[in-house]
Structure formats: C-alpha cells, structure tokens
Amino acid sequence: MSLLVVGISHRSAPLEMLERVSLDETRSRTLASGVVGLEDVRESLVLATCNRTEVYADALTFHGAVAQVGAALAAETGMDLEALTPHLYVHYEDRAVHHLFSLACGLESMALGESEILGQLRAALRAGQRDAHLGAALNPLFQQALRVGKRAHTETGLDRVARSLVGAGIERADDILGALVGARALVVGAGAMSGLAAASLRRAGVGRLTVVNRTRERAERLATSHGGLARDWDDLAAEVQQADLVLSCTGATDQVITRELLTGADRSERPLVLIDLAMPRDVAPEVAGLPGVTVWGLTELTELAAAGSKPTPGTPTPGTPTPGTPRPWTAASDATTAGDGAPDAAETATVLQGVRDLVSGEVATYLATRRSAQVGPTLAEMRSRAVSVADAELARLDHKLPGLDEEQRAEVHHSVRRILDKLLHTPAVRAREMAADDTDGSYLALLRELFDLDPRETAAVEQPPTVGGLP
C-alpha cells in the first residue's frame, strides 16, 4: 500500500473557495468512483464535510496518482485546476496516516477536538464499502482511525476541553435570548450534524424542538428520537418566523433561509439567532442585516469556539438566570461533572499534547504492524523457493534409490520437511521483527536479494516531495 491524501480544507483555503468545492453525498460517491478507476489508483475514499474535501487513495505511484486525483477533484467541483492547486495539500504514507488519525481525534477541525468528525468518517467508510471502492489498504486503515478517535475521547480529557461548533453556537445563543429553557428551537436538515444539533438543543432544555427537512420521513425519525415535532418543507417559512433559535445544516447548493422568508416578522422585541452550519451556506448574507436577527456562520462559530467557555458561575453575563432558575446548558456540561470551572490554558495544552502523543504512538504501531504484514508474501515466496529445492532433491534421491519401500521413502521425505521447517522458523520470526522497523523497505529488499526472489515486488517507490502540495 502507498497511501495518498489530496485535499482542501479551512486550513488551506478561504471559506468562499470551500463553498465552491463542497460536495454532497451523490457527488462524493461520483468522485470516489472516478478516482478508483484511475490508472495509478487501486482504492479510493472521499471525505466531504462542511470544512474539507479530501480524497484518500491507495496509489501505485506518487506523482502519477497526485496529478490524476487533482484533475479528478477539479473536474468534479467545476474548479479550474490552476486556481485550485495552490490550496490543495498532499500527504503521503506515514504523513498521510498521521493526518488521518489526527483528523479522527478532531485535531484538524475548525473547533479543536470536536467529535462530529467521527460520524462523518464512519459515513464515508460505509459509503466506500457499499460501493466496493475499498480493499485491503483503506478499509482497515479507516477502521483503525475510528478506534483512535474513540480512544482520544475516552482515554484523555479531550471532551472536557473540546469545543464543537454546535456547542459554541448554542452556548452563546443564550447571551442574546436569555436562558434557553423553554425557547422555541428549529433544526433545518436531518443529517449527522443536524442530529448533533437536536441532541444538544434538547440537553439545553429548549421547550419546543421542531425539525424541517425536504424528506419528511427523515425529519420524523430525527424529531422522534429527540422528543420533537417534524414539519414539511413547505412549512419552513412559518417555522422560522415562530422560532427563537434556528440551527441549519442542509446539503442544499442554494440558500434556503432568505430575507423573503422572514418578511413581515417583527424581531425587534423577540430576537432570532440563526446558526448556519452548512457548506455552502444555508442562510443568505442579507438576513444578517435584519433588525433583531443574529446570524453565525462557520467563520463566526470558529471564533466563538476559539474564545473558550463562558465565565464560571458567579460571573455576571447577559442572559444569566437568577438563583433558583435552571442553570444554562454549556458545551462543557456534558463532558464532566467534576467541578464547574472551565479548563484553563495549561490544562488544555496538557490534554492536547496527550492526544498528540496518543496519535503518534498509534501511527508508529500501525506502520510497524503494516510493515510486518508486508514481509509475509516475501517469507511465503522464500519458503516456496526452499520447498521447490527440497522437492527437486527428493525426486533425485527417489530416482537414485528405487529400492526404498514406501514407508522408508515417506520417512525420508518427512525428515527433510522437518529440517526445512526448523531452518526457516527463526529467520522468519526475525524477519517479521526487523521488518517492523524497516521504514524505507531496505531490509525487505535485502532479504529478497539474498534469496534471489523476484525484485519487482520491492521496486523502489517513487519518492514524494518532502512538503505538502501538488508537484
């Protein structure tokens, strides 16, 4: 396997460009199908989220695969390749594994440490399995990435310091709306992010939760699971006008919440907060200019998440309830019950370093295991070569000693086989141990050279650049 990642994200491109290259589920699957059919690619998986589009490939060559995948990505998104190229990043082999494991832990997300990415990775893996785009290279790799992400959330304090975009938006909404207990909330869309939004709103204590989706069945399924109500897409305008807080994350390519949708709604006395989690954006820019309406898109939510948790209890903030009223939900309230204070900078830095160390250890273990597994075919071929030599010699012996009876002949054959097994056992064990540390494939190549095995199996892999970016 030669793992290759070609991608674009919020770290490499402005949000305006990310909107242009955003892919829905259908187009993601189309891109994956096109990539797996490329000359230099054997397997492919496309990960498309609100802030990244990445193509993972099991590549036969580096430069050939990068060029082909880059062209396929440009073609599917309708972008000019020359305009897209400066914003693309490329990771290869160990750096690609490290990137994926870090991604699974939320270390590459807009909101550091968020857990939504695990659901998105799982969905991308299932799509790849369903479409038969994955094999022995990418399938186990992504399953391991999911396990690494789970470890990060269960074995470190990541959930305590993590700030999801949904949580950041909801936590700040009560600064404008007052305590969210009893508020009227609307979720637009019924995907994975909408599910997280509904769960978070219910934990925040909203009084009325409504879900609107183009497909009524999916809206009902999401609403039912969180004690809410489902409405038809034609009811969107009425539901938005009645809501206090709206979280929208659809797969629409056009804007679904427009100025016209709010025409006639007086928000001067009853503010409205719109949290737009979609890419491309669901909320039209001019909506933010309406009186009493606050709109937070991904850019604003990232800033809110980076700002950290709200002050600890006892510090006055707008919308803080008086003593005896239900305490506002916060993003950290689900993560820990040990104390009310938010983690400070030192604790956050320590936790994040622990997650990074976990990732580094998992990457090293994964690569060592993979290298050990790769020596298997060489050992099998080495044994096959030795058995062939032994068989030739036994055949020669049978010809020279025709007088041996069948029992004697069988005993001779059995003894030769036992000698062969004992001679090969220790070298095979040592070969697997040494292959685990064979980062450049030199040991495997030497092994094949010593036993005169087919050199094509260990032909030097085309070396990639030392930095990310298209060549």
Residues annotated catalytic, as ranges = 50
Instruction: Report helix, strand and coil shares of the chain as percent, to nearest 5.
Output: 55, 10, 35
Tokens found for residue 389: 């030599």
Please say whether the beta carbons of 56 and 125 come within 8 A: no
For 399, the token pair is 């010809």
Mind giving me the DSSP string for 375-436? Answer: HHHHHHHHHHHHHHHHHHHHHHHHHH-TT--HHHHHHHHHHHHHHHHHHHHHHHHHHHHHHT
Which are the contacts of 416, defined by CB distance < 8 A and separation ≥ 6?
390, 393, 394
In contact, 206 and 180? CB cutoff 8 Å: yes
- Whole-number Å distance between alpha carbons of 277 and 164: 11
Tokens of 256: 């679904």
- Decide if 54 contacts 5 (C-beta within 8 A): yes
Distance CA 334, CA 167 (A): 10
**Would you call 420 exposed, middle or buried from its count of C-beta atoms within 10 A (0-12, 13-18, 19+)?**
middle
Peptide bond into 377 cis (omega under 30): no
Rounded to whole angstroms, how far apart are CA atoms 122 and 300? 27
